[in-house]
């Protein structure tokens, strides 16, 4: 029997994760990674974050938690297949509060989660457990499931693993049009497919719009400061600071909407630095050596989208801003299901139908 031919448009973390899962499941997979499809896989600090995800949407909380629980075996298998260490770790995470408004917001979030592995700690208890935390911290939420990985290493491992299981990675000029059964290219070529998965970041919306999927994907800018390397000093993760395996500190957690330019904004980077020092005073003596910014994709409600095109049932749009956190789920659940011509039941919660007011 001829294997399923699956074409993934987009070679970022999401696209490669889905492609690897489908390739492992026996599908004939092609990844088309044109320049404008480049998802900003590296424009983040690599957090595999559980706490706070899906407080207002339980299916997302479940989806995130499942992926985090798959991550240990996911990372181990990648290393076995490729020899690339994605630097996975799970020391647990703190979301630190520096004023009463943040405390109130965090209390509300934790109460809505009703998750036994997320707890709210007073400032004194935070400092008792983690003496590096500064006196300006009034409270924090703690979750032992929070982890991190190196996005650069993860992308390299996924690409190498894809090649190892026969996935065809291509760099065409551009995907011009997607119709049922084929992807037409600007250079005049075409790639035949049984299933097409568009995981092309911000450019994905324009590719699927003619097929009946009209989704307003927007850019959100994230900015990160990178410091010099130091000996291990921070044994916990926060959304705003973590220390890498190499010793550098990654500082910052901005989600800036309505930005036209992904380049760094110095006032925001300065705010990142000030907050980092308030949270961890010892960072005042650590030198910043570089910074980066990237425009990541965000869906209208912030939750992932996995949706079939009404005018072309074999075409899917896949979009999310949690490419690292959800990599295990995309590889071990979504990819194999698509390779079998199936749709995991939970994906129904992430279709574009949730934006239909009448249906909702």
Residue 327: both structure tokens together: 């990599």
Tally of domains in the chain: 3
Indicate if 165 and 289 belong to the same structural domain. Answer: no
Question: Is 85 within a domain?
Answer: no
H-helix segments, the chain: 13-24, 58-82, 100-113, 123-129, 151-164, 204-208, 266-279, 327-329, 335-339
Q: Which domain holds residue 262?
A: 218-298
Question: Has residue 188 been placed in a domain?
Answer: yes
Same domain, 186 and 54: yes
Query: Per-residue pLDDT for the chain (360 aa), expressed as one digit of tens each?
Result: 788 899 999 999 999 999 999 999 999 999 998 766 555 556 678 999 999 888 888 899 999 999 999 999 999 999 999 999 999 999 999 999 999 999 999 999 888 876 778 999 999 999 999 999 999 999 999 999 999 999 999 999 999 999 999 999 998 878 778 887 788 887 778 899 999 999 998 888 889 999 988 888 888 888 899 999 999 999 999 999 999 999 999 998 877 877 777 778 888 899 999 999 999 999 999 999 999 888 888 898 999 999 988 888 889 999 998 999 999 999 999 999 999 888 767 688 898 888 875 454
Q: Say if residue 202 is in the same domain as residue 229.
A: no
Domain at 195, CATH number: 3.50.50.60
Residues 228 and 267 in one domain: yes
Position 43 scores a pLDDT of 67
- CATH code of the domain in which 241 resides: 3.30.9.10
In a domain, 35, yes or no: yes
For residues 206 and 309, membership in a common domain is answered with yes
**Domain-embedded: residue 125:** yes
Are 277 and 340 within one domain? Answer: no
Domain contains 86: no
pLDDT at 358: 45
User: Is the Cβ–Cβ distance between 184 and 176 less than 8 Å?
Assistant: yes
Whether residues 9 and 58 share a domain: the answer is yes
221: left (phi > 0), else alpha (psi -120 to 50), else beta? beta
Q: Which of 252, 274, 298 is the last residue of a domain?
A: 298
84 belongs to a structural domain:
no
If asked whether residues 72 and 161 sit together in one domain, one would say yes
> Whose CA is closest to 61, among 320, 303, 312?
303
Kindly state whether residues 288 and 222 are assigned to the same domain: yes
Q: Which residues pair with 318 in a beta bridge?
A: 306
CA distance 281 to 269: 17
pTM of the predicted protein model: 0.94
Asked if residue 172 and residue 63 are part of one domain, the reply reads: yes
Assigned domain for 39 exists: yes
Are 13 and 44 contained in the same domain? yes
Any domain includes 87? no
Indicate if 209 and 306 belong to the same structural domain: yes
Residue 252 · residue 224 · CB < 8 Å: yes
């Amino acid at each position: 029997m001829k294997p399923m031919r699956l074409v993934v448009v987009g070679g970022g973390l999401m696209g490669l994760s889905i492609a690897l899962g489908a390739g492992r499941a026996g599908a004939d997979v092609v990844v088309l990674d044109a320049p404008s499809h480049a998802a900003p896989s590296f424009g983040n600090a690599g957090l595999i974050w559980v706490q706070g995800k899906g407080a207002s949407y339980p299916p997302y909380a479940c989806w995130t938690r499942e992926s985090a629980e798959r991550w240990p075996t996911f990372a181990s298998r990648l290393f076995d297949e490729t020899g690339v260490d994605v630097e996975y770790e799970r020391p647990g995470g703190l979301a630190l509060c520096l004023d009463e408004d943040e405390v109130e917001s965090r209390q509300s979030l934790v109460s809505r989660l009703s998750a036994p592995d997320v707890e709210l700690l007073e400032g004194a208890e935070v400092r008792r457990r983690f003496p590096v935390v500064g006196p300006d911290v009034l409270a924090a939420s703690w979750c032992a499931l929070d982890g991190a990985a190196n996005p650069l290493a993860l992308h390299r491992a996924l690409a190498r693993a894809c090649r190892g299981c026969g996935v065809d990675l291509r760099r065409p000029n551009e995907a011009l049009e997607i119709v049922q059964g084929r992807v037409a290219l600007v250079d005049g070529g075409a790639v035949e497919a049984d299933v097409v998965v568009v995981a092309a970041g911000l450019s994905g919306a324009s590719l699927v719009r003619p097929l009946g999927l009209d989704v307003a994907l927007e850019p959100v800018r994230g900015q990160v400061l990178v410091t010099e390397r130091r000996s291990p000093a921070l044994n916990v993760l926060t959304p705003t600071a973590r220390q890498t395996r190499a010793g550098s500190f990654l500082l910052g957690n901005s989600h800036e909407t309505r930005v036209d330019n992904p380049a760094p904004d110095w006032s925001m980077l300065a705010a990142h630095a000030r907050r980092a020092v308030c949270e961890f005073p010892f960072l005042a003596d650590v030198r910043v050596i570089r910074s980066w910014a990237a425009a990541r994709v965000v869906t209208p409600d912030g939750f992932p989208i996995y949706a079939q095109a009404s005018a072309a049932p074999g075409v899917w749009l896949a979009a999310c801003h949690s490419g690292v956190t959800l990599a295990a789920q995309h590889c071990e659940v979504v990819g194999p299901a698509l390779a079998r011509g199936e749709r995991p039941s939970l994906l129904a919660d992430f279709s574009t139908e949730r934006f239909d007011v009448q249906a909702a």
